[in-house]
Amino acid sequence: MLIDDVHRYISLRRALGFKLDKTDRYLEAFTRHAAANGDSHIRTATALAWTAVVSSTPGSRYRRLQEIADFARFLHAEDAAHEIPQHHHYYRPCVRPAPYIYTSDELVRMLHAAANLRHQKPSPLRRHVHAMLIGLLAATGLRVSEALNLRLGDLLPGGVLHIRQTKFDKSRLVPMHASVVAALEAYLRVRAKVAGVDDHVFLTVGGRPMGLGTVHAAFHAILNKAKIAPDRPRRPRIHDLRHTFATRALTQSHAMRREDVARDFVALSTYLGHSEIRHTYWYLEATPHLMGDIAGAAEMLAAGVIA
């Protein structure tokens, strides 16, 4: 039966290091649908009909069909009666939105706005939490989820953060500037007065770990209070603090030799926890003046101006 083939296929790929949790669920759902349809083999028509129902966007339809096509290709090698859906017809390029790069003045205004959020009795840490969170994100380039997952044991001696099992199942060490370490220590002293037994660094009402919904709601209030891009159709995001960090790190690099530029990119890519360096190069494409700076350095190198 197809469901048994799914289990065999997923087990084989997991043995090779893939997680495939979502793929497993979707393929099981698809094969149950196919069996109810009377199919003993994978049929393109069945795959197209099923993905049209379960997928709400062209992008998700493409991904679901790609998963079925990979599975079908695996079975087709054993039994040519299995059809392989041509999922490439449904490919739509993903356009990443241009990041909003906060100015130094805007960051100062945001920190001031966070420190002056309306006081809430059930959450005496509110002002301190959001000011520290924004400051930490701006100074380290952490993902929001990485900051919210921090526990007290992840604050290592010497001002180093231990970021555990993140987006790509990788752990890394993130050193902090001395000013950030001092701010974090001050925050922890306030936290110690009101926190309960939970060891998450950032807590909300009742001493519970802070969720993304709470963070985004407070961040929108901070943007309004700080008057950050009020007329912009697409409001800046808290994730843009990460983009701002990466952009400033590249802008402030004065290395002009080719090998130095490459080393800077590798260091930044590692610091940010990118799975592939191409994700770091995206900051050049997203920020035209950075592309111009690198292009200018390359021209000088080619002309022999730079040794």
Q: What is the DSSP string of the chain?
A: -HHHHHHHHHHHHHHTT---HHHHHHHHHHHHHHHHTT-SS--HHHHHHHHHHH-SSHHHHHHHHHHHHHHHHHHHTT-TTS----GGGG-----PPPPP---HHHHHHHHHHHHTSPPBTTBTTHHHHHHHHHHHHHHH---HHHHHT-BGGGEETTTEEEE-S-TTS--EEEE--HHHHHHHHHHHHHHHHH--S--BSSB-GGGPBPPHHHHHHHHHHHHHHHT-STT-SS---TTHHHHHHHHHHHHT----SHHHHHHHHHHHHHHHT-SSTHHHHHHHHHSHHHHHHHHHHHHHHHTTS--
**Catalytically annotated residues:** 143, 167, 239, 242, 274, 283
81 CB contacts (<8 Å, ≥6 apart)? 41
Pick the closest to residue 70 from 26, 40, 34 (CA basis): 26
